[in-house]
Amino acid sequence: MKKYKIAVIHGDGIGPEVMEATLYVLNNLGLNFEFIPVEAGLNAWKKYKNPLPEETIDIIRKTDACLKGPTQTPPGPETFKSPTVTLRKLFDLYANIRPFKSRPGVPSIHKNVNMIIVRENTEELYSGIEYSIGENSIAIRVITKKACERIARFAFNLAKKEGYKKVTIVHKANVLKVTDGLFRSICFEVAKEYPDIITEEMIVDSAAMKIVMNPSDFNVIVTTNLYGDILSDVAAGITGGLGLAPSANIGDKYAIFEAVHGSAPDIAGKGIANPSALILSSAMMLKYLGEEKIGKMIENAIDSVLSEGKYLTKDLGGNTKTMEFAKAVVEKLNKL
Ligand code: ATP
C-alpha cells in the first residue's frame, strides 16, 4: 500500500482541536499515512521568535502534502508576517481553491449553492510590499501577467474537470484600470481556449451582493487575492458559516490544505469548534493525492452526519463536541 507522508501544522487557537479530530478521521480510513508534526504560527513565534522555523520548511519539502491548522498572526507592524502567506509564496501555491456548498441539514440563508472561488494566492496586496513615508503609508499592489494567466487557466480547467458551466471573472477594472485591467484582459484571453464554458465578468462589489442574494447563479469565480479572501467569508456566511468551509492551496509541485477559518481564539480550548472545515480540507487532500473515492466518502459521511441533525456543533445550533463529531463521521464511514 502506498505510504503518504503528510506534514501536519496543528496551529493556534482551535487549530490543535480541529486537527486532532481530522487526524482521528484520517487514521480510520485504512490508508497508510505518516503524519509529521511541524510548528508554525503564534506558538512557534513565542517559542523560537520565528513563526515559520527553517526545520518546518525543510520537513515540508520532504512530504507529499501539508495539512495545516489555522495560525494566528496578530495585527500591526510590530508582530510577524503571516506564515500562511509565506508558505503560499515559498511553495508557489498560486491557486487557492475554496468550494462552498449548501449542505443538507445545515441551517443556511440559501439552498442549492454549489460554487468554487478560485483565488490568486501569491501576489496583489498580499505581496507584502508596504512602506511608511513620514506619517503616511503605502502598499504596492502587484499583478503580473504570469500569475493572471496561470490562475485563469487553473479556474477554467477546474470548471471543465468538475463539469461546471460558467466562470465569473471578478475584478474592479472600472477603477483599478491598470492592475485589474490586466487581470480582466488576461482572463478573457485564456477564456477563448474554453469555448464550451460560459465566461462572464462582474465588478467585485456587485459580486458580493449577488453572492448574498442569488448565490446559485455562480459556478466558478476567478479573482485576485484580496477580493477572493473577502468573498470567501461572504460565501461561507450564506452556506452555514466558517465551520464548514474547506480550502486547498495548490501549486505545480506541492499543496497545502487548510480550513478557510482562522484560529477562533474566542472559542479555543473549549472543545466545541466544528472540525468539518478541516476534515473536508483533508478530503480535498486525498483527492489531490489520487484517493478520489475516499475523499468523496469523507464528504458523504459529513453530509450524512449533518443531515441527521443528531450531532451538530454549537455553530450549527447543537451541542456536540469537536471529537464527538469526528467519531460520528467515522461511524458513518464504517457503514458506507
Ligand atoms: P484569526 O485572527 O485567526 O483570523 P478570528 O477569530 O479573527 O481569528 P476566525 O477564526 O475565522 O477569525 O473566526 C471568526 C468567527 O467564526 C469567530 O467567532 C469564530 O468563533 C467562528 N469560527 C471560526 N471557525 C470556527 C469553527 N471551526 N467552528 C465554530 N466556529 C468557528
Residue nearest to ligand 1 atom 26, measured at CA: 243
Ligand 1: residue whose CA is nearest its atom 13:
264
Could you tell me the pTM of the whole model?
A: 0.93
Residue spans in the chain of domains classed CATH 3.40.718.10: 1-95+242-336, 109-238
pLDDT in tens, 53-79: 999 999 999 999 999 999 999 887 777
pLDDT value at position 74? 83
- Over residues 104-119, the pLDDT tens digits come to 889 888 889 999 999 9
CA nearest 21: which of 90, 67, 61, 75? Answer: 67
- Residue 180: strand, helix, or coil: helix
Active site residues: 126, 172, 205, 229, 233
Lookup result for grid cell 478530503? 283
Distances 182 to 125, 173, 192, 224 between C-alpha atoms, Å? 15, 8, 16, 11
pLDDT tens readout for residues 142-177: 999 999 999 999 999 999 999 999 999 999 999 999
Average pLDDT over residues 225-239: 95
Q: Which residues contact 24 (CB under 8 A, 6 or more apart)?
A: 323, 326, 327, 330
* pLDDT score for 312: 95
Closest residue CA from atom 15 of ligand 1:
264
What is the pLDDT at residue 273? 98
The pLDDT of residue 195 = 97
Higher pLDDT, 245 or 75: 245
What average pLDDT is seen over the chain?
95
Taking only the tens place, the pLDDT of each residue in 161-220 is 999 999 999 999 999 999 999 999 999 999 999 999 999 999 999 999 999 999 999 999
Looking at residue 230, what is its pLDDT? 96
Judge residue 237's burial from the number of C-beta atoms within 10 Å of its C-beta, 0-12 exposed, 13-18 middle, 19 or more buried. middle
DSSP 41: S
Contacts of 311 (CB under 8 A, 6+ apart): 305, 318, 320, 324, 325, 328
**How much of the chain exceeds pLDDT 70, in percent?**
100
The per-residue pLDDT for 306 is 96
Q: What pLDDT was estimated at residue 105?
A: 87
Q: Which residues line ligand 1 (CB under 6 A)?
A: 14, 18, 70, 72, 242-243, 261-267, 273-274, 277, 315
What pLDDT score was predicted for residue 182?
Answer: 98
Mean pLDDT of 259-269: 96
Provide the pLDDT for residue 43.
92
Q: Which of 72, 73, 261, 274 should be mutated for ligand 1, with most atoms under 8 A from CB?
A: 261
CA of 267 to the centre of ligand 1 (A): 8
In the predicted model, is pLDDT for residue 81 greater than 90? no
Ligand 1 atom with the smallest distance to the CA of 266 is 20
**Within 13-96, where are the H helices?**
15-26, 42-48, 54-61, 83-90
CB count in 10 Å sphere of residue 223: 30
Residue that is written with C-alpha cell 501536519 in the block: 8
pLDDT of residue 60: 97
CA–CA dist 70, 73 (Å, integer): 10
The residue among 100, 192, 190 whose CA lies nearest residue 145 is: 190
Residue 69 Cα to ligand 1 middle (Å): 12
Check residue 77 and give its pLDDT.
75
State yes or no: pLDDT of 1 exceeds 90.
no
**For residue 261, which atom of ligand 1 is closest to its CA?**
11
Task: Quote the ligand 1 centre to 263 CA distance (angstroms).
Answer: 6
Residues 131 and 115: their CA atoms lie apart, in Å, by 37
**Is the pLDDT at 268 greater than 80, yes or no?**
yes
Q: Bridge-partner residues for 3, per DSSP?
A: 32
CATH of domain 1-95+242-336: 3.40.718.10
- Determine the distance separating the centroid of ligand 1 and the alpha carbon of 33, expressed in angstroms: 29
pLDDT band for position 127 (cuts 50, 70, 90)? confident
Which CATH architecture does the domain made up of 109-238 adopt? 3-Layer(aba) Sandwich (3.40)
Q: Span 83-102, mean pLDDT? A: 95
Which atom of ligand 1 is least distant from the CA of 259?
27
- Give the Cα separation of 281 and 303 in Å (integer): 14
Torsional sign, CA 317, 281, 69, 154: negative
